[in-house]
Amino acid sequence: MTLSSTDSALTARPATPEQPRPEYPRPDLDRSGRWLNLNGVWDFEADDAARTITVPFAWETVASGVNRTWLERAVYCREVTVPGAWTGSRVVLCFGAVHHRAVVRIDGSVVGEHVGGYESFEFDVTDFLVPGIPSELTVEVEAPADKRAIPHGKQRSIPRDDYDGVAFTPTSGIWQTVWLEARGRTYARAVSLRGDSLTGFDVTVQTAGDAPAEAPVSVRVLGSGESVALRADHAGRASGRLPIAAPRVWAPADPHLYRVEVVVGQGEHADTAVATSGLRRIETRGADLFLNGERLYLRGVLDQGYWPETGLTAPDATALCRDVALAHELGYNLVRKHLKFEEPIWLHEADRTGMLVWAEPACPSRFSEEAAATFEAQLPALVERDGNHPSIVIWGLYNEEWGLDWDIPGSDARARAAVHAYETMRALDGTRPIVENSGWAHVRTDLVDWHYYEPNLAEWKRVVAGMADGTVTEFPVRLGPDFVVDKSFYASDAVPRTGIPILNSEYGEGFTSLERTWHLRWETQELRRHDRFSGYVYTEFADVEHEAAGLLTTDRRAKDWGGLVPADVNAETVLVLDLIPLRAGADIEPPAEPITLVAHVSHHGTAPLTARLHAAWLRAGAPVDGAVADAARARPQASSAAVAVAPFVLSPEVSITVPAAEGAGRLLLWATDEGGRTVARTYLDAAEVEELNRRGARPGS
């Protein structure tokens, strides 16, 4: 695997110590012609802490210069001067995110307050700033150590959460870019573009400023000229339809984006913004997912969005966008961004490169009516900011009943909270499937997803088969070292048992990187064996602090995968072998006689294919994607009969007889289509299986 860089224009401006994160933070709603970046060194006041801080990095991080955990209050301060050229414009102060409560003042006067650590927010500060005259901007932040009743995702809490073992260093204070924008006297506060008709955009513009009621709004597609003239109602809301004469849909293979210019008002004080979106429809049809009318299978990876020295904030735009490229290179077509609404730059990169996204907010950890209300309070801002992104194809809500005491079935109140969250999100956005409680205990959902971790591959194979045919709906979940419970897909009889998509959204096992990729190879093939499933999400993309489950290290370096190519495992077409492997590094014993293997082909392309299986012995540990493998493919030692493969239907079995091995080796297996092109690839390691060394173990252990 070659770890690539991104070619995004966002990476063109280098960061400096004086101006970290210099790029414009909203490429999806572009006003970069007139903006002022406020990132950099601010004065900082907190108990026993540094006197300055580098924004936009949380005060717990090394990059902030403070590097302090468990501060609960702090005050940021800096001087700001609005450019003289902005005279006559309205000035808006924008925050990417501040955890958790922020009170903002200019020259001592409160301009606004915001509660909620993940969503973006803004204040119109026109009346507080005079162009050309310096003013003092202060941000007072409260970040409680006890986070259990507020949305905090994977941030550690004191008192500790039930799930402290999978929690990480908190992210407090300003942790996203802060900036000023010049806008028209009446301006577009929010722009909604929904392209699920595939023929044009349903447009909604919310205006603000001097005269939002009855404001004229002009909407135009840049580059093609389609336009529509709208007028806001008495509440400042303008809605209409923007048809596209020759529509080009957005899809992973062709991620076409439209840039839509929105102009509010007329003359020299008009407001202009350019929103980006795509024509894309995601829907469920019975038990299947469809994208733009074509079957969709999700090959996903879970990404928690942490970096070693900057926490939840990416160190720079290059790193942020490169994560999307790395997920592509690992073979995934979807990223489940876990318990974090990621920066718009990352979402725009997913839009631009065709990566699908499962987006979900942070959860609280303990249930109360107040905690449930606080969880839901963040949803409107998140949908408003991110709803235009065609890459987002699933909205997640609660995760594994976090914030519901791990026990939806235990009380009507907790079940009602999950249902109410679903209904709230459905009212905000009816264009995407919603998962109300990812992992188990579903009460109202558009997808039945499940999380299951199992180290025994024979048991994994058995349980996954039962999940596919409906005979298994309960499975063990280890919630702590000595705490195992049985969880179910369902917590309500109202959730359909058939006729609804079902998919895995967390799996993976192994202590070492070799074991993890061994499990990735074999567990994923069992998921691909069953046509009932609509996809999977592997845990996880990169390590985070003490959690070493990633395919990549915390700084995004490839691990030793034991010769595995993750993109082979996650390919559109894969081989599914009818055997249970013995152990990592020794899938089978070296065969002293020729052996016959049975395989199937799982193909998720748009057209059928005819495949033929081939095999060749390589030396033990030989690369399966290098010159040795190329030479083996040129002269296979065994080949099978052809098999017809239909899209989204596991092929009939195909047998291949492989010659004996002379000691340990690696058996390369690959499939070719009628034109001889390799369409799928895997391997088997043949080695002696030693008895486990248990010398010195206590009796009975």
pLDDT in tens, 8-59: 345 446 777 678 999 999 999 999 999 999 999 999 999 989 899 999 999 9
Residue 620: Cβ within 10 Å count: 16
What is the distance between the alpha carbons of residues 177 and 34, in angstroms, rounded to a whole number?
16
Residue 159 class from Cβ within 10 Å (0-12 exposed, 13-18 middle, 19+ buried)?
Answer: exposed
CATH 3.20.20.80 fits 298-545, yes or no: yes
pLDDT band at 387 (very low <50, low <70, confident <90, very high): very high
Query: Which amino acid is located at 163 in the chain?
Result: Y
Q: From 495, 357, 347, select the one nearest 422 (Cα to Cα).
A: 495
Per CATH, domain 186-282 is 3.40.50.620? no
Give the per-residue pLDDT at 1: 52
Q: What is the DSSP letter of 510?
A: -
- Arithmetic mean of pLDDT, 465-480: 92
> What mean pLDDT, rounded, does the chain reach?
95
pLDDT value at residue 480: 78
Amino acid at 7: D
6 pLDDT tier (thresholds 50, 70, 90): very low
Nearest to 685, CA basis, from 581, 600, 615, 574: 581
| Pairing outcome for strands 227-231 and 216-221 | antiparallel
Mean pLDDT of 368-373: 98
The pLDDT assigned to 271 comes to 98
**What tokens does 332 get?**
């995934």
Angle between helix axes 369-377 and 379-386 (nearest 10 degrees) is: 20
Reduced DSSP (H G I as helix, E B as strand, rest coil) percent helix, strand, coil of the chain, to 5: 15, 35, 45
Nearest Cα to Cα of residue 475 among 451, 494, 457: 451
**Alpha-carbon span 404 to 381, nearest angstrom:** 22
pLDDT, tens digit (0-9, with 9 covering 90-100), for 651-680: 999 999 999 998 999 999 999 999 999 999
User: Contacts for 42-47 with beta carbons within 8 Å, 24 or more apart?
Assistant: 42/76, 42/77, 42/78, 43/76, 43/77, 43/78, 44/74, 44/75, 44/76, 44/77, 45/74, 45/75, 45/77, 46/71, 46/73, 46/74, 46/75, 47/71, 47/73
pLDDT of residue 505: 98
Contact 358, 537 (CB under 8 A): yes
Percent of the chain with pLDDT over 90: 92
In Å, what is the CA distance from 262 to each residue of 207, 274, 389? 11, 6, 17
**In this structure, CATH architecture of domain 34-183:** Sandwich (2.60)
Distance between CA atoms of residues 174 and 74, nearest Å? 10
- The token pair that represents 34 in the structure block: 């007139």
Overall average pLDDT of the 225-237 stretch: 97
Residue 483 confidence class, pLDDT cut points 50, 70, 90? confident
Lowest mean pLDDT among 165-169, 204-208, 433-437, 477-481: 477-481
Tell me the pLDDT tens digit for each residue of 504-535: 999 999 999 999 999 999 999 999 999 999 99
- Angle formed by the axes of helices 412-428 and 369-377, nearest 10°: 10
Compute φ and ψ for 123, nearest 5 degrees. Answer: -130, 135
Mean pLDDT value of segment 465-487: 91
Q: Say if residue 397's pLDDT is above 60.
A: yes
- For 59-119, the DSSP string reads TTSTTTT---SS--EEEEEEEE---GGGTTSEEEEEES-EESEEEEEETTEEEEEEE-SSS
List C-alpha distances in Å: 162 to 330, 403, 574.
32, 10, 39
Split at pLDDT 50, 70, 90, the class of 478 is: confident
| Spatial CA neighbour of 26 closest among 37, 18, 15 | 37
Tell me the three state secondary structure of residue 444: coil
pLDDT of residue 482: 81
* Residues 269-314 pLDDT 10s: 999 999 999 999 999 999 999 999 999 999 999 999 999 999 999 9
pLDDT tens digits, residue range 684-701?
999 999 888 888 888 765
- 4 has pLDDT over 70: no
| Predicted TM-score of the model (pTM) | 0.97
Do 34-183 and 575-686 have matching folds? no
- Over residues 100-139, the pLDDT tens digits come to 999 999 999 999 999 999 999 999 999 999 999 999 999 9
CA distance 556 to 527: 26
> CA 672 → CA 168, 331, 640, 676, 681, distances in Å?
45, 19, 11, 5, 9
> Which residue, among 621, 464, 611, has the nearest Cα to 530 in the 3D structure?
464
What string of DSSP letters covers 183-219? E-SEEEEEEEEE-TTSSEEEEEEEEEES--TT-EEEE
Q: What average pLDDT does the segment 563-580 reach?
A: 97
Quick check: 5 pLDDT over 50? Answer: no
Dihedral sign, Cα of residue 438, residue 423, residue 115, residue 341: positive
Q: Residue 240 carries which DSSP code?
A: E
Q: Which CATH superfamily is domain 575-686 in?
A: Immunoglobulins (2.60.40.10)
Bond into 501 cis (ω within 30): no
Residue 380 φ/ψ region, left for φ over 0, alpha for ψ in the -120 to 50 degree band, beta for the rest: alpha
CA 196 – CA 432 distance, rounded (Å):
9
Domain ranges of the chain: 34-183, 186-282, 298-545, 575-686
End-to-end CA distance of the chain: 41
* pLDDT confidence band for 221 (50 / 70 / 90): very high
Phi-psi group of 431: left, alpha or beta (phi > 0 → left; psi -120 to 50 → alpha; rest → beta): alpha
Query: Residue 293 class from Cβ within 10 Å (0-12 exposed, 13-18 middle, 19+ buried)?
Result: exposed
Q: d(Cα 564, Cα 1) in Å, to the nearest integer? A: 10
Outline where DSSP puts E strands in 369-501: 392-399, 434-438, 448-451, 474-480, 483-488
Q: How would you class 112 by CB atoms within 10 Å of its CB: exposed for 0-12, middle for 13-18, buried for 19 or more?
A: middle
Is the Cβ–Cβ distance between 250 and 259 less than 8 Å? no
**Tokens of residue 691, six digits:** 């008895």
Q: Is the pLDDT of residue 609 over 90?
A: yes
